[in-house]
Structure 1
Amino acid sequence: MSRHPIRTLSVTAAALLLLGGCVKKSEYDVLQIENQALQTRVDETNHLLEQSQADLSALQIQMQQFAAVQTQLQKTQQELTQSQAQFKALKAQFDHFRTQRRSAMVGRKFPVLNLDDGKVLREAEITAVTAEDLSIRHADGLARVAFAKTTPDLRWEACYDPQEAREKSREAMLAKVREQGGLPQTAVPAPPSGPPASNVVDVLRAQLAAQRQALNTDYQALAAKNSAALRGVAWNYSQPEASPLLNSLSGSRAILGVSRLQSQRSAILATLQQLRQLDPAAR
Structure 2
Amino acid sequence: MPPATSLAIDLVDTLWSTVLDVAPILLILVLFQVMVLRQKVPHLRRMILGFLYVVLGLDLFLVGLEMALFPLGEIMATQLTDPAFIHGAEGAEAARGADGVRWRDYLWVYAFAAAIGFSTTIAEPALIAVSLKVTEVSGGAVRSGGLRVAVAVGVSIGVALGTMRIVTGWSLPLFIVIGYVVVIVQTAFAPRAIVPLAYDSGGVTTSTVTVPLVTALGLGLASSIPGRSPLLDGFGLIALASLFPMITVMGYAQLGALVARRAARRPDGRDPRQERDQP
**TM-score class normalised by the smaller sequence:** under 0.3
TM-score (norm 2): 0.26
More helix by share: 2
TM-score (norm 1): 0.25
